[in-house]
Structure 1
Amino acid sequence: MLQDDGQSAWQLRVRELERRRWLVWVPVALAFLAAYFHRTATGVVADSLMRDFAIERAAELGVLSSIYFYTYAAMQLPAGILADFWGPRRTVTLALLMAAGGAVLFGASESMPALYAGRFLSSVGVGLLFVNLVKIYANWFRLREFGTMSGLTVLVGNAGSLLAATPLAFVVEALNWRAAFYLIAAYSLVMAAASWLIVRDRPADVGLPPVAAVEESEGVAASGSTMTGQYSVVACIRTVLGNRYTWPPFLAGTLVYSVFMTFLGVWGVPYFMQVYGMSRIEASNYMVAVVAGNMVGGPLIGFLSDRLGYRRWPYCGFVAMFLAVWLTLTVWNGGKPPVGALYPLVFMIGVGMSALTISVACAREVNPPHVAGIAAGFVNSGPFIGAALMQPIFGWVLDLHWQGAIENGVKVYPGSAWQSAFWLCAAVLAVGLALTLLIRETRCRARVD
């Protein structure tokens, strides 16, 4: 009888953990909207920035956008260290305050240096969010739920990309581009308060059992914990970088994401406006379709990977889909497919890019548990390095093929320029696909050494 009472009490605590974890996860996931907004907003306001700040070269606009990606990439390892030693609650709160300050500075800018400074500050802030969100579901959710939680994170975060598409275009048309950044600053402040009040770093902070103990009681090998005091930061970084299986998901993600964010974050809207003669709102609707594809594909690949017990082949298959669709967009009718085909094409681009949803799982499961946070931060940095490099390169290719046309103070590029830049992206995707074949198949099991 006493044994039954003890078992019943344990089950009650487990059920309470399963309820409470969602209350902890939701505020940080919603805060992640800000990261996606800053990531893609530049594309929608591209022509406004070029006009207001007399930006004459496409590559210069690419550099402004790429500040986010360089900074975001640089913050991933510090984010992992802060998550392990300082905790997500404090880190996320501080990150959102910085993001809010950066958005205000960006919106109030009257000069290019101020614009760069605002972009940098907001990028530092949102650059701390993802790894701390991973830390939250590593501490509160079972290992076998990792892919699914990664997919849900993509789903929620992409709502920020939706806000930075057609809704942002409406705000720009109705008010101005500056108002949009003031609004995201206010949202960041609200989420900072919610994170401080609601989020807790680990179940023990509210008297609940750790997930490792729950997994052990269910007969599942515990996934271990992230870095502890017996390991130095330098030794942990050396362990991750010295593991040859860490590099394929890092490099594949770098190349695949560089193409995706070049299209979604900067050049997709100008492409539709210039090649098809669309309005800003019409062009932004296609970016909504890209994001919708990613919102569908992220949870789908996470769920399939967890249920099927494979990492490499879902990753490879989704990237192959991305490449096939991109080649269609590049070749069909000289890089100008019929309007009726555009929504399905861009939707499938979003689905294909969703392969990156399980990049962190691919790296986390081939490294020892005590370096899981650093492995996640390192692999997550690659895609943003790629995006930072590709966006100005894409603009440079456009400038090479510019024929001198200018409308309303903005350069207009011929269809051949866009097709040349698309071919470059196709080559990058092909190399990324080859690298996915080198990802180690873990069967969704973590290392235990």
Structure 2
Amino acid sequence: MTSANPASSAAPASSAAAPSRDTGMRWRVLCIFSLGFLVSYIFRGVNLGFAPHLIREMGLSAADLGLLTSFYFLGFACAQIPAGLLLDRFGPRRTEAVLLLAAVAGALMFARAPGMAALAAGRLLIGIGVSVCLGAAIQALSIWFPLSRMPLLNGVVMAIGGLGAVVVGAPLAWLLSWTDWRTVSYGLAGLTLAMAALLWFAAPEAGGAGKQRLAEQLRGTWQVFRNGRFLRVVPLALLNQGIFLSVQTLWVGAFLRDVAGHSPEQSARLVSVIGFAMMGGCVFAGWAARHLERAGLSLYAFAGLGMSGFIVVQCLIIAGVPLPPVLMWAAYGVFGSSGILAYAVLARSFPEALIGRATTALTLTVFLATFACQVGVGMVLDLWPATGGRYPKTAHLTVWSGLVVLQVAAAVWYALGRKRGAQVAA
């Protein structure tokens, strides 16, 4: 077990008197924890490729498929509060490595599942197992790097994780053309086990020096949930990320097929385009945020502009504006990733001892929203009769329009806090 430069014995990188850190160790932290998030992201979207096979083999309806896929997000969300406590108590390396073993078990259960109940239980366990991957990465980076770099670093983590969104597009479709979804699930179990071993034996220690009792930790969690900045940021961030994730990881395929009339091959390519665009958008947003702050535009305002841009893109898609599909869906990926900046906004609003809980608290709301969206979209689509496995264009546009209305209301609430957000220290 590697335990170099533990945060428990040195000042945090975000403090004014932070010691000089070994550059190689810093980049090892970035690479290893980003790979962990990549594994998490592959699990998020793998049902997008599995969907036609599960429908054919298991006879699932749209509502069944939405419910099944959303169990990942439900498990992820339910684990966030205890995951935050574990992160602030034991640190990101140990917490993530141990929890990933639950994802291994879930992937094996999913691969061997005889029916809907076992599939759902497997997805739930996978969600619990990877629930800490993003929070652990953000916490580790906040300890090893200055907070001024967090928007860019969070973007890099999201970009690397975004490779998972690319993988579940055309590459997964190709893989499923010569093997089945059960074999792929076994492969994911092996990949996850290897990731847990890499974290445990190769990642440097960071944090985990907290000695608070459980009651004190829970008071800290409550402090996060009633924080004014948290309450101002969360509604728009959870809708931005929740809607983007629910569509990207499941419903975009049906939309491209039923509304745009694309073939399965074209749809798979556009799913990969969204993934690549999300990766680029994450890195660009992090880079731009730091430079625009120097020019006088606050991180709070820039994050709000990005999430509002996502609303505009959805309106253009609903309206059927005649733009090239690659351009339109690339914009969807770029602006859909803008909610990641909310993590950097919140990281500046809490002391280091609460960053793990603040991050997982935001993730809790995001994944509850994703769960609700995935289930809700399936239920609304089922209100219209499906013909040959396809739903009417009206059904999809009704769902998307309702989600846009919710986002507009949240954007207004977010904008009301702009003046206060601009006062946050860089």
Please give the TM-score of this superposition, normalised by the length of structure 2.
Answer: 0.88
Residues 184-220 of structure 1: per-residue CA shift (max 9 Å, x gap): 21211221121111112239xxxxxxxxxxxxxxxxx
The yes-or-no answer on 1:312 pairing with 2:300 is: yes
The question of whether the paired residues in 2 share the 8 Å contact of 1:243 and 1:367 is answered with no
Instruction: Give the Cα separation in 1 of the matches to 2:182 and 2:347.
Output: 40
Instruction: Give the Cα separation in 2 of the matches to 1:370 and 1:268.
Output: 39
> For residue 54 of structure 1, what is the amino acid of its counterpart?
G
Instruction: Give the Cα separation in 1 of the matches to 2:334 and 2:101.
Output: 32
The root-mean-square deviation of aligned C-alpha atoms, in Å, is 2.2
The yes-or-no answer on 1:297 pairing with 2:281 is: yes
Residue 98 of structure 1 corresponds to which residue in structure 2? 102
The alignment partner of 1:232 has SS state of helix
Residues 363-383 of structure 1: per-residue CA shift (max 9 Å, x gap): 222234432221111112211
Residues 114-148 of structure 1: per-residue CA shift (max 9 Å, x gap): 10111111111111211111121111111111111
Of 362, 387, 391, the residue aligned with 1:413 is: 391
Unpaired stretches in structure 1, ≥5 consecutive residues: 1-12, 204-224
Deviates further, 179-188 or 112-121: 179-188
Residue 3 of structure 2 corresponds to which residue in structure 1? none
Structure 2 CA distance for partners of 1:241 and 1:16, relative to 1, 3 Å: closer
The yes-or-no answer on 1:131 pairing with 2:135 is: yes
The question of whether the paired residues in 1 share the 8 Å contact of 2:318 and 2:400 is answered with yes
Residue 340 of structure 2 corresponds to which residue in structure 1? 357
Residue 62 of structure 2 corresponds to which residue in structure 1? 58
Instruction: Give the Cα separation in 1 of the matches to 2:97 and 2:231.
Output: 31
The question of whether the paired residues in 2 share the 8 Å contact of 1:315 and 1:436 is answered with no
Instruction: Give the Cα separation in 2 of the matches to 1:242 and 1:232.
Output: 16
The question of whether the paired residues in 1 share the 8 Å contact of 2:236 and 2:307 is answered with no
What aligned pairs does 1:32-181 form with structure 2 within 5 A after superposition? 32-55=37-60, 57-181=61-185
Deviates further, 103-112 or 276-285: 276-285
Residues 60-96 of structure 1: per-residue CA shift (max 9 Å, x gap): 2111111111211122222221112112222121122
Instruction: Give the Cα separation in 2 of the matches to 1:160 and 1:432.
Output: 28
Residue 229 of structure 1 corresponds to which residue in structure 2? 212
Q: How far off its partner does 1:265 sit? A: 1.3
Instruction: Give the Cα separation in 1 of the matches to 2:422 and 2:77.
Output: 26
The question of whether the paired residues in 1 share the 8 Å contact of 2:30 and 2:157 is answered with no
Deviates further, 137-146 or 269-278: 269-278
The yes-or-no answer on 1:393 pairing with 2:364 is: no
The question of whether the paired residues in 2 share the 8 Å contact of 1:272 and 1:283 is answered with yes
Structure 2 CA distance for partners of 1:106 and 1:367, relative to 1, 3 Å: same
Instruction: Give the Cα separation in 2 of the matches to 1:74 and 1:331.
Output: 36
The yes-or-no answer on 1:445 pairing with 2:397 is: no
Q: How far off its partner does 1:176 sit? A: 1.4
The question of whether the paired residues in 1 share the 8 Å contact of 2:108 and 2:189 is answered with yes
Residue 9 of structure 2 corresponds to which residue in structure 1? none
Instruction: Give the Cα separation in 1 of the matches to 2:20 and 2:149.
Output: 16
Aligned residue pairs total: 402
Q: How far off its partner does 1:276 sit? A: 4.2
Instruction: Give the Cα separation in 2 of the matches to 1:78 and 1:307.
Output: 36
Residue 4 of structure 2 corresponds to which residue in structure 1? none
The yes-or-no answer on 1:280 pairing with 2:264 is: yes
The yes-or-no answer on 1:25 pairing with 2:49 is: no
Instruction: Give the Cα separation in 2 of the matches to 1:227 and 1:393.
Output: 40
Instruction: Give the Cα separation in 1 of the matches to 2:131 and 2:423.
Output: 30
The question of whether the paired residues in 1 share the 8 Å contact of 2:155 and 2:283 is answered with yes
Q: How far off its partner does 1:274 sit? A: 3.1
Deviates further, 154-163 or 412-421: 412-421
Instruction: Give the Cα separation in 1 of the matches to 2:424 and 2:205.
Output: 25
Residues 203-249 of structure 1: per-residue CA shift (max 9 Å, x gap): 9xxxxxxxxxxxxxxxxxxxxx9965388112202211221211122
Please give the TM-score of this superposition, normalised by the length of structure 1.
Answer: 0.84
Residue 412 of structure 2 corresponds to which residue in structure 1? 434
Residue 222 of structure 2 corresponds to which residue in structure 1? 238
Instruction: Give the Cα separation in 1 of the matches to 2:87 and 2:242.
Output: 26
Residues 408-431 of structure 1: per-residue CA shift (max 9 Å, x gap): xxx321212222122122212222
> For residue 280 of structure 2, what is the amino acid of its counterpart?
V
Residue 216 of structure 1 corresponds to which residue in structure 2? none
The alignment partner of 1:168 has SS state of helix
What aligned pairs does 1:299-378 form with structure 2 within 5 A after superposition? 299-309=283-293, 310-332=298-320, 341-378=324-361
Residue 221 of structure 1 corresponds to which residue in structure 2? none
Instruction: Give the Cα separation in 2 of the matches to 1:14 and 1:240.
Output: 28
Instruction: Give the Cα separation in 2 of the matches to 1:256 and 1:226.
Output: 34
The question of whether the paired residues in 1 share the 8 Å contact of 2:91 and 2:209 is answered with no
Q: How far off its partner does 1:292 sit? A: 1.5
The yes-or-no answer on 1:269 pairing with 2:273 is: no
> For residue 58 of structure 2, what is the amino acid of its counterpart?
F
